[in-house]
Structure 1
Amino acid sequence: MEYLSITISLITLFVCLSVYNKVSAMEARIKAMQVSYDHIAQEDGMSRHPVQDEVLQLVRDGKKVAAVKKAREVLGLSLVEAKQYVDALEA
């Protein structure tokens, strides 16, 4: 009986970890799609994200690190994604 409960616990743990990994991957894909959408919207002249002007002003003031931090906080991006976002705004 003890082996059965250990086996069930291990299977449950494995399933939970698998679900967590899938959710994390989906979150990353959604963030990447949002960044892509923002770039497309910017190129087409569509409305921009409200934080974009603030991030751009931080870059112009020479506060690139603060701009990356702001982009990460507001847009929920990873460090690399936020850096790419700020670099794209700078260009």
Structure 2
Amino acid sequence: MEYILIIIAFLIIIHLTAKVDKLEGRIKGIQYTLDQVTKQLNLPENPINNELRKLIKEGEEVKAVKKARENLGLSLIEGKEYIDRLK
């Protein structure tokens, strides 16, 4: 009986992981679309980006990630990816 529960839990985890991966892909697509719309409409860049780029140039990537997270409400992974895109 315990093995059946473990197998069911494992299958649920695999299913949820697949769903999360699919959602992450959709989010990346939406982000790409937003970036294209922003460029097309010549919308100004987020003002925090200049401060973040300055921190990056000073070799303070960890501080840049922290500042991005605080100001933009990002998770740690999202903050790191945001800073990587600004490089």
**TM-score higher than 0.5 here?**
yes
1: CA distance between counterparts of 2:20 and 2:29? 14
Partner of residue 53, structure 1: 47
Q: What residue ranges of structure 1 are gaps of 5+ in the alignment? A: none
Q: 1:1-91 maps to which residues of 2 (within 5 A)?
A: 5-45=1-41, 47=43, 52-54=46-48, 56-59=49-52, 62-64=54-56, 65=61, 66-69=63-66, 70=68, 74-76=73-75, 77=78, 79=80, 81-87=81-87
For 1:63, what is the secondary structure of its paired residue?
helix
Instruction: Decide which structure has the larger Cα Rg and report it.
Output: 1
**Aligned residues: CA RMSD:** 3.1
User: How many residues were matched structurally?
Assistant: 78
1: CA distance between counterparts of 2:39 and 2:29? 15
Which one has more relative contact order, counting CA pairs under 8 Å at least 6 apart?
A: 1
Q: How does the TM-score come out when normalised to structure 1?
A: 0.56
Indicate the percent of aligned positions where both proteins have the same amino acid. Answer: 12
Structure 1 segments of 4+ aligned residues over 6 angstroms from their partners: none
Q: What residue ranges of structure 2 are gaps of 5+ in the alignment? A: none
1: CA distance between counterparts of 2:38 and 2:25? 20
Q: Given that residues 69 and 79 in structure 2 are in contact (C-alpha distance below 8 angstroms), is that contact kept between their aligned partners in structure 1?
A: no
